Every structure is written in C-alpha cells, then in structure tokens.
C-alpha cells in the first residue's frame, strides 16, 4: 500500500510517495484533495485539472495462502 511523508526542504514542503511493486496511484495536481498528495476526485470541480497516474514497475507480491 502506498505510503507518503512530507518534510520541509529549503522552506518548501516536499512529499515522498513510496509504492509497492506493481502498485498504481493517482497523485493530486489540483491541490484541492482532502487526501493530498493522493487524488480524491475533487478535481472534477476544477476545470482543466486531473491527477497524475504513477505506476511502480514489477509484479505485486503473491497473495499469501492460508
Ligand atoms: S483531487 Fe486533485 S487531481 Fe484529483
């Protein structure tokens, strides 16, 4: 599952998103998401804006059977 941290760097926030192999997320670029940096669909109310889709290479880990 994607995780992220935000730190301040040179007076500006910097967010790092970590993905699992094969994971896909939508990152907000309208700055209106309540789940920022992840897109929550709020961009639908912001004309001309939409998310950035990011996909991590690789295959997701095999599901454990139990
Ligand atoms: S909510 Fe901002 S791009 Fe989707």
Percent of the chain with pLDDT over 90: 85
Rounded average pLDDT over 33-59: 95
Residues 6+ apart with CB under 8 A from 40: 28, 33, 34
Q: Give how many domains the chain has, as a whole number.
A: 1
> Domain containing 40: what range?
20-57
Rounded to the nearest angstrom, the distance between the alpha carbon of 62 and the centre of ligand 1 is 30
In a domain, 10, yes or no: no
28 lines ligand 1 (CB under 6 A): yes
Per-residue pLDDT reduced to its tens digit, 23-32: 999 999 999 9
- Please tell me the residue having the least CA distance from ligand 1 atom 4: 39
In a domain, 7, yes or no: no
In a domain, 46, yes or no: yes
Res 61: pLDDT? 74
Rounded to the nearest angstrom, the distance between the alpha carbon of 51 and the centre of ligand 1 is 5
Predicted confidence (pLDDT) at residue 66 exceeds the cutoff of 80: no
In a domain, 9, yes or no: no
In a domain, 15, yes or no: no
CA 59 vs CA 29, 42, 55, 64: distances in Å: 27, 30, 11, 14
Which CATH number fits the domain that encloses residue 43? Answer: 3.40.5
In a domain, 30, yes or no: yes
Predicted confidence (pLDDT) at residue 43 exceeds the cutoff of 90: yes
């Amino acid at each position: 599952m994607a995780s992220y941290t935000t730190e301040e760097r040179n007076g500006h926030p910097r967010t790092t998103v970590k993905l699992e192999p094969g994971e896909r997320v939508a990152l907000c670029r309208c700055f209106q998401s309540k789940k920022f940096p992840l897109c929550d669909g709020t961009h639908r109310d912001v004309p001309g804006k939409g998310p950035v889709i990011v996909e991590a290479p690789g295959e997701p880990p095999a599901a454990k059977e139990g």
